[in-house]
A and B are shown apart, each in its own frame.
Chain A
C-alpha cells in the first residue's frame, strides 16, 4: 500500500530501477510521461508544452508568465490524485515537495558515477565522450535550476530523501542491489500507510484540485485543506475582494470531497492605490 518516489540525474539508470522495483513489488509504475498524458487529456494542454515546463527552468520572464504556474499546478493535481491509489512507484522530480510530509512515501535518490553516466550516454545515443559529458552537465544544471526555481529545493540535499543510493559504490551488479535495497526498505513498517498519512495525501490532492480549479482567477494563491474543509489565501483589491471570494467559493464547492470553504483575502495595496481606492 506504500508509494515509492525515485529521482535521478540523466543516464543514472533511475527509470530502469523504478520500473524494475515496481515489477518486483507488483506496484504500478508511473512517470512524468504518464502524468502529462493525463493532464493533456483533462486540461487540453499539449504534452510538448507540459514537458517543456518540466524541463526548462523558469526564466525571469517565464516565472511571471501565466502559463507556467498553471501547468505546474495541473501536473501536480493529476499526480497527487494518481498517488491516492497507492502501490505506485513514481519516477520523476515534479511533485517532490508535495509529498515530503507523507510518511508512507519512500523517497529515493539514485546517484551514479559521472564516468558510468557518460558511458551510458555514449552507448545510448552513439555520441562521443565529450558530447555525452556536455549533455549530462547541461541536464544536471537544468534540473537543479528547475528544482530551485519551482520548489526552492536542492535536489542533492539528502534531507529530501529516505534513501540515497550511489549505484557506483555498491557492487558489480549495482543496479540489481539498488532495486533490492528499495524493495526491502519499502516493506518496513515505517512506510506503511496509516489513517493519518492517507488523510494527509487526500488533503494534498484536494488542495491541488482547488488550485487547478481556481488558477484562472489566481494562480499564486495558497490553499490548505483538511477533511473537506478548504482554506484559501488570496489577494485582491478591496473593491473586488467580496466578489472574488464568492466566485472562488462557488467553484470550489463543486469539487468532490469539499464540504466547506473559507477564503481569506489580503488586500492588494499596490493595486488598490493604482485603482484610486
Chain B
C-alpha cells in the first residue's frame, strides 16, 4: 500500500479545484487537479489512482464516462461524483456503474473530506 492516498480531482470550474485541491492536500493526500476532462482521462489511463473525484456536467467528456473509464481500468479505484445537477436517475445510474458515493453541490470541503475518508477506509488506509 502506498504511503499517501492518491487522488485525481476533476471539475471544469476552476474555483472548485482551487478550493478543494489545497483542502485535501492539507490533510495529507496527494492530489492532482484537472479542469479538462480529456486530459484527466489521459492521466487516468496512465496511472491508477486510489480515488477519483469527478464532476458530471462537463463539455466533451462527462463524469459518467470518466466513471466508466476508471471502472475499465481498475476495480479498486473509488469514484466519488460531485454534481450540481443531482437527480434520482443520475444517482442510481452512478451507483449502478460503480460509483462509491455522490455528493450534491454546493458542499463544504469537510463533507468531501469525510467521504474521502470513508473511501480510504474501504481501501484499507488509516483515517487521517
Contacts and interface: CB of A to CB of B under 8 A. Distances in A.
Contact of B92 (A100, A103, A195, A200): A103
B28 to A, nearest CB: 22
A195 B103 contact: yes
Nearest to B93: A190
A264 to B, nearest CB: 20
B96 A195 contact: no
B91 to A, nearest CB: 4
A138 B96 CA distance: 41
A41 B88 CA distance: 34
A149 interface: no
B61 interface: no
A194 B102 CA distance: 6
Contacts of A197: 91, 102
B88 A103 contact: yes
A103 B92 CA distance: 6
Interface in B74-103: 86-88, 91-92, 95-96, 98-99, 101-103
B111 A195 contact: yes
B111 A194 contact: no
Interface in B52-92: 86-88, 91-92
Interface in A158-206: 188-192, 194-197, 199-200
B4 to A, nearest CB: 24
Interface residues of B, number: 15
A102 interface: yes
B104 interface: yes
A209 B91 CA distance: 26
A196 B86 contact: yes
A101 B88 contact: yes
Contact of B91 (A100, A188, A196): A196
A102 B92 CA distance: 10
B67 to A, nearest CB: 13
Nearest to B88: A103
B102 A196 contact: yes
Interface in A95-117: 100-103
A192 B94 CA distance: 11
A196 B103 contact: yes
A103 B96 CA distance: 12
B24 interface: no
A199 B91 CA distance: 13
Nearest to A103: B91
A242 B124 CA distance: 55
Nearest to A190: B92
Contacts of B87: 101
B114 to A, nearest CB: 8
Interface in A212-226: none
B88 A195 contact: no
A100 B87 CA distance: 11
Given A195-B115, A197-B91, 16 more contacts: A100-B88, A102-B88, A103-B92, A103-B95, A189-B95, A189-B98, A190-B92, A190-B95, A194-B95, A195-B102, A196-B86, A196-B91, A196-B102, A196-B104, A199-B104, A200-B104
